[in-house]
Amino acid sequence: MSDAGTRTALVTGASRGIGRAIALGLAREGFDLVLNDIERQKDQLDTVRTEIEAIGRRAVTLFADVSDAGAVQAMVSHAIDATGRIDAVVNNAGILIPGTVEALPERHWDAVMDVNAKGTFLVVQALLPHMRARGYGRIVNIASIGGKHGAPEQAHYSASKAAVMGFTRVLAQEVGAQGITANCICPGIIVTDMGRTNLEDPVVAERWISNTALRRLGQPEDVVGPVCFLASDASAFVTGQTLNVDGGIVLS
């Protein structure tokens, strides 16, 4: 069981959208934060850090491409040195480069798989020795309903998110005895810079709304509560699960 004291969470892709909302939500729940993104997001990540500090929590910013094993190992090492502990990780970093299967360049397939699937694996792998040594950990991987049913021009994205779900189910079985849980969140159509890929055509946007039981698009803040639950001790007996946070598109 985790020792007493302030919990610390690492959030990847934390500079904007869902990652930013999650980081702020965890801060409001009493977590200190390690905020990760790539270097070109520095200004936005610094803004998130300032917002967290205004809440009264500590925030550390670390830059790394999650698809680079060496960079991830260095980031995790620096995070532990800076904070002393990582209790929870939210693997949120992700990219989407739309393209039909027939016309999709191999480099776009590789880039999406490298960040979305391999990046999740690399961050978890780097953190596991620390979590095992402490006998505690909360791993929350951000997948997508796209990994369940997909959408045109997103075959590589859907494949990467399906991979995250499969990875998480096996991970939960391997680490449960060490006091570590691993779960997935599958956001639906969320209004973010990346989510707008599904919303550029007003007709398509209206179709998504009409196919959603709650009859609205999601906001980044809609994802926060479920992530905070899975990152906390309230979810101590929940592992290997995938939770749809989509307003009622995928009903399961």
- Taking alpha carbons only, the member of 121, 90, 78 closest to residue 11 is 90
Rounded CA-CA distance 184/140 in Å is 6
147, 162 in Cβ contact below 8 A?
yes
- The string of pLDDT tens digits covering residues 165-203 is 999 999 999 999 999 999 999 999 999 876 666 677 888
- Residue 140 domain flag: yes
Element of type H or E holding 112: helix 106-113
Residue 179 falls inside a structural domain: yes
Residue range 2-25, pLDDT digits in tens: 555 789 999 999 999 999 999 999
Phi, psi (degrees; rounded to nearest 5) at 149: -130, -15
Digit-coded pLDDT (tens) for 32-56: 999 999 999 999 999 999 999 999 9
CATH code, domain with 32: 3.40.50.720
In a domain, 202, yes or no: no
Q: What is the domain range of residue 110?
A: 8-190+221-242
Tokens encoding 194: 């990346």
> What is the tally of structural domains in the chain?
1
Kindly state whether residue 106 falls inside one of the protein's structural domains: yes
136 part of the active site: no
Please report the pLDDT score of residue 193 as a whole number. 77
Q: Is residue 211 part of a domain?
A: no
pLDDT tens-digit profile of 70-90?
A: 999 999 999 999 999 999 999
The total number of residues shown for the chain amounts to 252
Candidates 157, 167, 208, 229; catalytic one? 157
Residue 226 lies in a domain: yes
What are the φ and ψ backbone dihedral angles of 35, each rounded to 5 degrees? -105, 125
